[in-house]
Amino acid sequence: MTRSADLLREGRGLLLDLVDRAEVRDAAAAWIGRVNSVIARTDRVDVDALLIRPDGCVARVLPVRWAPGSANRPELRPNSRLRFAR
């Protein structure tokens, strides 16, 4: 088991993909180089993915109701206000 703190040591954001779906990976592709993407497991059933800032705070939550094929939804596109400083 790997702790999320260990995954954040590189100083990048972290996308925890809790459902291992291609749509989540496709949405994460826009942040390559700034965000590490990891498939994770949890007992929670109300969240598909979490985007975590380098300081450990949750920046975005992808709820279960997210429909396949919705990677073009504005809230999943890279956001100019969402920055991960080095």
Residue 43's domain spans which residues?
Answer: 4-65
User: Is 18 part of any domain?
Assistant: yes
- What pLDDT is recorded for position 4? 77
- What pLDDT is recorded for position 80? 44
pLDDT, tens digit, 9 for 90 and up, residues 39-61: 888 776 788 888 899 999 998 88
**Domains contained in the chain, number:** 1
**CA–CA separation, 27 and 49 (whole Å):** 11
**CA–CA separation, 5 and 46 (whole Å):** 22
Burial 67-80 (b: 16+ CB within 10 A, else e): eeeebeeeebeeee
Q: Any idea what the CATH number is for the domain that residue 28 is in?
A: 3.40.30.120
- What pLDDT is recorded for position 52? 92
In order of 4, 14, 40, 42, 86, the CA distances from 67 in angstroms are 26, 22, 20, 20, 33
Mean confidence (pLDDT) of the chain? 76
The residue to which tokens 């400083």 are assigned: 85
- What pLDDT is recorded for position 28? 80
User: Is 58 part of any domain?
Assistant: yes
